[in-house]
Structure 1
């Protein structure tokens, strides 16, 4: 087997993300969980979402908009659209897709033995490490924050 070949991530056939020669396919649940995790990492949401909120978030990531909101999250996206859209490489949609893709790419590298995952006791978080480089941590590019326009569910507003 050619060790330079990198496989495509595959957890199902419900959603597809492509970049260059890579084609990642996702099961609905996997994609939804990755979208939610990306939104948390970006500071756009702070906690678990209810199913209709997740549906709106997935709709945003897939279609680039929430044409018919199912939840307050979808309505919030539309209310804050000017702050969320911005230039393509700075939009929330771009970063949701980027983090979903990046997470799947890293997980595929773990599956293929190029990376491992370990728990950093000091930082209290999991990190990817490179076994071929004495478990050197993988430095991920920083992601912007959407904290200033974060979605806060109605029952959590003060």
Structure 2
């Protein structure tokens, strides 16, 4: 039995995500970037967000709602709220948090030597692979798309 305990991801103390015994802490920049990447991956936004939009996205990810929007993105979230909320495992907030956590978990596994990152030149993407399994790729669960209610800057 392997008694080695996996480390927790840590880039700062501004934001905290906990799941089971795992406690991941993030500095503000890291968390903001991961929220933006998650929203892009989910098809809710495309490209880079400006500071007020990113502020609203982080507020949504942390608080589960945006009471006082700082941008058109926050207003869009509130206008589309019935389509973004739903059963907890199907809401946009759930998936934003899940992808932020997953990205940090994967990065921590790379840091600890359990995973490597390889570039797939054919697909032009990066993949996580398991070095102790002859580079077998890590298969990640697919995420849903929020493209139908995507935020499009004015």
TM superposition score normalised by structure 2: 0.98
The separation in 2 between residues aligned to 1:35 and 1:5, in whole angstroms, is 27
- How is 1:32-71 mapped onto 2 (pairs within 5 angstroms)? 32-71=32-71
Deviation at 1:45, TM superposition (A): 0.2
- How many residues end up aligned between the 2 structures? 153
Q: Which runs of 5+ in 2 are unaligned?
A: none
User: CA offsets per residue over residues 73-99 of structure 1, 9 Å max, x none?
Assistant: 000000000000011000000000000
The separation in 2 between residues aligned to 1:4 and 1:57, in whole angstroms, is 36
The separation in 1 between residues aligned to 2:115 and 2:67, in whole angstroms, is 39
The separation in 2 between residues aligned to 1:90 and 1:45, in whole angstroms, is 17
Q: Which runs of 5+ in 1 are unaligned?
A: none
TM superposition score normalised by structure 1: 0.95
Quote the residue 1:85 is aligned against.
85
The separation in 2 between residues aligned to 1:134 and 1:60, in whole angstroms, is 40
The separation in 2 between residues aligned to 1:116 and 1:9, in whole angstroms, is 16
The separation in 2 between residues aligned to 1:135 and 1:151, in whole angstroms, is 37
Quote the residue 2:74 is aligned against.
74
Partner SS state of residue 60, structure 1: helix
Quote the residue 1:31 is aligned against.
31
